[in-house]
Amino acid sequence: MRWRIGSLVGEGVANLWANGFRSLAMLGLCAAAFGGLAFLELRQGTELTQFVRNYREGGAYVAIASVRGGGVSGARCESLNGTEGVVAAGAWRGAGQDTFPMAPGVLFQAADVTGGLLRVWDPRHVLGAGAGLVVGPAMAKELGLRPGLIASFDDGEPVRVSAVGEFGRRNPQAARWALSPVSPAGTFDECWVEFEPGTYEAGRDALAARFAEGSAEPVVRPYRRSDEFTRDPAAEWASRPQRNGWVAAPLVLFGLALVAGWFRRAEAGLYLSMGTRRAQLAVMAAAEYWPLVLAGWSLGFSYAVAIQSWHETAPTGDVLWHAAQTSGSAALATLALLPWSAALVARGSIASLLKDR
């Protein structure tokens, strides 16, 4: 008997609908395999991404330069802004302690800062260097200050509060500070510089030479010591256990398809008795299994994304792409393997296969 491709496909689709329970079971297995693989990728990728983000926002790539027995040049510090590899740079100097009329007897630290320092201490909010007082969150809460209000030191003129900085992650001690943005002219106590991750080591090493002047001895220290970083996200991601899941999942599904085909070997014998070749059985099985695999991947991947987004942090685009690659590779390998399960089961004499009816 000669089969046309269209007839083989139609026969496979008919087999798909002929046993709804079997088809639904294979659909559920595919969704569970691909969805589970995608969820593992999403969960670990999102956790590592969040860890790296928190580490960077906590000052991982911030260096602090000071000069023993003197001060650092504010102009040289501010000039680092716009330099390749530098995120932000700024300087500060202490301006003593003072009190506010609304809290007599309570001392607050006052400091002069350049505009770039506000971006280093508060990376989530780009604060300008315009006129106005920038206060720490603890001071703002204690005195009831907020942007737009007028405040004044006991011995100073009234000044508008321009912003409340979130300094808790980069400089917690500044939570009770009152910061006055000033020109970078003159010297300051410290220069804070945040680098891009790839330029941090080289940039930190170059800071000492930048502030060396005469007999001054610059000191450069990292905001966070390297021994505080005990994890290697790149190594964890490269050695993740589900990395080779795109190979394991198709093999498991192929084994299940072989078991299902074993119980249908009488059908294979009937097709062979009509002159159907084993390669044509594979085409017929492809028409039966491929819709289930594709639908299973779509359902599993969508469900994995929904669970990750609902219970934890929504994954980034890169994490979604990696999860789609891993689970999609498993689906493609499954598409290639499953059709041959029918051909492998249809072995032996036709009479032997038909006896199993």
Rounded distance between C-alpha atoms, residue 192 and residue 65, angstroms: 6
Residue 69 lies in a domain: yes
252 and 316 fall within a common domain:
yes
19 and 130 fall within a common domain:
no
- Neighbouring residues of 136: CB distance < 8 A, sequence distance ≥ 6: 164, 165, 167, 174, 175, 176, 177, 178, 179
pLDDT digits (tens, 9 = 90+) for 308-350: 988 878 888 899 999 999 999 999 999 999 888 877 776 655 5
Lookup: tokens for 93: 């100097």
Percent of the chain with pLDDT over 90: 26
**Spatial contact of 222 and 63, defined as CB atoms under 8 Å apart:** yes
Rounded distance between C-alpha atoms, residue 292 and residue 23, angstroms: 7
90 and 213 fall within a common domain:
yes
173 and 265 fall within a common domain:
no
31 and 103 fall within a common domain:
no
- Neighbouring residues of 64: CB distance < 8 A, sequence distance ≥ 6: 190, 191, 192, 193, 220, 221, 222, 223
Residue 2 lies in a domain: no
Using pLDDT thresholds of 50, 70 and 90, give the confidence band for residue 268: low
Residue by residue, DSSP assigns 262-277 as HTTHHHHHHHHHTT--
pTM: 0.70
Closest CA to 333 of 284, 290, 279, 272: 290
Rounded distance between C-alpha atoms, residue 37 and residue 289, angstroms: 20
Query: Of 162, 191, 223, which closes a domain?
Result: 223
139 and 198 fall within a common domain:
yes
The alpha helices in 239-316, defined as continuous H runs, are: 245-262, 265-273, 278-311
pLDDT digits (tens, 9 = 90+) for 286-299: 888 899 999 999 99
User: What is residue 156's predicted lDDT score, i.e. its pLDDT?
Assistant: 66
Residue by residue, DSSP assigns 17-79 as HH-HHHHHHHHHHHHHHHHHHHHHHHHHHHHHHHHHHHHHHTTTTEEEEEEETS-EEHHHHHT
Query: Of 157, 188, 223, which closes a domain?
Result: 223
- Of 134-148, 228-242, 295-309, 311-325, the one with minimum mean pLDDT is 228-242
Mean pLDDT of 5-12: 72
pLDDT at 128 over 60: no
pLDDT at 4 over 50: yes
103 and 180 fall within a common domain:
yes
User: What is residue 355's predicted lDDT score, i.e. its pLDDT?
Assistant: 59
Mean pLDDT of 256-275: 71
pLDDT at 170 over 50: yes
User: What is residue 34's predicted lDDT score, i.e. its pLDDT?
Assistant: 94
User: What is residue 350's predicted lDDT score, i.e. its pLDDT?
Assistant: 58
User: What is residue 122's predicted lDDT score, i.e. its pLDDT?
Assistant: 85
Rounded distance between C-alpha atoms, residue 37 and residue 328, angstroms: 10
Mean pLDDT of 170-189: 87
42 and 103 fall within a common domain:
no
pLDDT at 183 over 60: yes
Bigger pLDDT: 150 or 305? 305
Bigger pLDDT: 152 or 251? 251
Residue 228 lies in a domain: no
75 and 198 fall within a common domain:
yes
N residues, the chain: 357
Mean pLDDT of 40-61: 88
Closest CA to 193 of 312, 83, 69: 83
189 and 309 fall within a common domain:
no
pLDDT at 221 over 70: yes
Looking only at Cα atoms, what is the longest distance across the chain? 107
pLDDT at 69 over 80: no
pLDDT digits (tens, 9 = 90+) for 96-117: 877 776 666 677 888 889 888 8
Residue 238 lies in a domain: yes
Rounded distance between C-alpha atoms, residue 289 and residue 104, angstroms: 79
In which domain, by residue range, is 288 found? 7-54+233-354
262 and 214 fall within a common domain:
no
Lookup: tokens for 162: 């321009």
Structural domains counted in the chain: 2
User: What is residue 155's predicted lDDT score, i.e. its pLDDT?
Assistant: 65
Report the mean per-residue pLDDT for the chain. Answer: 82
Query: Of 173, 198, 223, which closes a domain?
Result: 223
User: What is residue 140's predicted lDDT score, i.e. its pLDDT?
Assistant: 83
116 and 138 fall within a common domain:
yes
Rounded distance between C-alpha atoms, residue 353 and residue 344, angstroms: 13
Strands 72-73 and 187-188: antiparallel
Using pLDDT thresholds of 50, 70 and 90, give the confidence band for residue 129: very low
Rounded distance between C-alpha atoms, residue 126 and residue 135, angstroms: 15
- Neighbouring residues of 14: CB distance < 8 A, sequence distance ≥ 6: none
pLDDT at 173 over 50: yes
Mean pLDDT of 22-32: 91
